[in-house]
Amino acid sequence: MIKKIPIVIVAMLISLSGCAKDYGLAPPADSEKVTVTVNLPKELTNEVMQVVYRSTICTFTDHTAMGKPYQRDEYQRTDIWPVRQGQSDLYRAELPMDGGGACQWRLSNVTFGVAYATPTPFGENVTYRAGGGVVVIFDRNNSPRGGADFNVKGDLIIKKDYYPWIDEEFLGPYKKTVSLAGEGNIYLSYRAVQAQAVHFEPILHSSYVVYSAGPNIKRKGNHTTFTYPDGSTVADGRAKPDFTKLQAIRLAAENK
């Protein structure tokens, strides 16, 4: 009887065939490090840091859209959880720049972020959806989520406002989710090739909740309705809350 090799194993063997050496990460003790810190609001929790290393020594064969083969840098991903610093709201992780090993791995990028720790205060069966993500690229390559939106010289300090966004969808299976509505995309992407420190401080404005409800009937002209903290409603075809409007509502209320 011929045993079949699982497809996943075959894919791994093909991926690693360009590097006959030991492809494991082995950061030297004296490697320079990038320190990543997150100042975590009490309602939120950290998501795992997805750290990617690349090697120009070990490569693999990929193909263009036209089927033409070419060599690409091999890459490895390792997951790291930031560690709380004492009883503070600060969480920290150190990422070795030199990944070591026979492939001479180098730190390429990290994806991390924050999410609601317990969405249940927003209602029964509410699940967390998206928002609060950060990608930092330390070389000239793209990350798994594409290129950078911002180029930064030196260390990187990210301080951003976020608002709770509760969405209900009625077409198909009913679902209710909570997200972090912020400026820009779900993931803010930075290129910081000189950075030795990255600090992320998400500021959560829990008192300013924006709600959205999708249409009950799929019909041209039916759009998701957004209800903002000041009671105003908008259904203009947008897919996410108007961040500028949220900022204006909060600042107006705070300046009264």
pLDDT tens per residue across span 176-211: 999 999 998 899 999 999 999 999 999 999 999 999
pLDDT for 21 equals 65
pLDDT in tens, 84-118: 999 999 999 999 999 999 999 999 999 999 999 88
Which residue carries 């939106």 as its tokens?
Answer: 149
pLDDT value at position 3?
A: 43
Q: Are strands 33-39 and 197-204 parallel, antiparallel or unpaired?
A: parallel
Residue 6 has pLDDT above 70, yes or no: no
Report residue 23's pLDDT band, with 50, 70 and 90 as the boundaries. Answer: confident
- Top pLDDT among 67 and 2 is at 67
Please state the separation of Cα 29 from the chain's center in Å: 28
Residue 7 pLDDT level (bands cut at 50, 70, 90):
very low
Contact predicate 223/233, CB 8 Å: no
Nearest to 61 by CA among 117, 104, 19: 19
Give 5's pLDDT tier (boundaries 50, 70, 90). Answer: very low
Q: Is the pLDDT of residue 135 over 80?
A: yes
216-234 per-position pLDDT tens digit: 878 887 889 999 999 999 9
Residues 6+ apart with CB under 8 A from 250: 163, 205, 208, 229
Q: What is the mean predicted confidence (pLDDT) over 51-63?
A: 93
Q: Are 117 and 44 in contact (CB under 8 A)?
A: yes
* Helix spans in the chain (H): 7-16, 243-254
- Cβ distance 59 to 72 under 8 Å? yes
Q: Where are the beta strands (DSSP E) in the chain?
A: 33-39, 44-63, 69-80, 83-84, 90-96, 98-100, 105-116, 127-128, 133-137, 150-151, 156-169, 175-182, 187-191, 197-204, 210-213, 225-227, 233-234
Here the tokens at position 100 are: 């070591």
pLDDT, mean over the chain: 90
3-state secondary structure of 11: helix
User: Which sequence spans correspond to the domains of the chain?
Assistant: 23-61+70-254
Give how far Cα 181 sits from Cα of 9, 14, 80, 161, Å: 39, 40, 25, 8
pLDDT for the residue numbered 2: 40
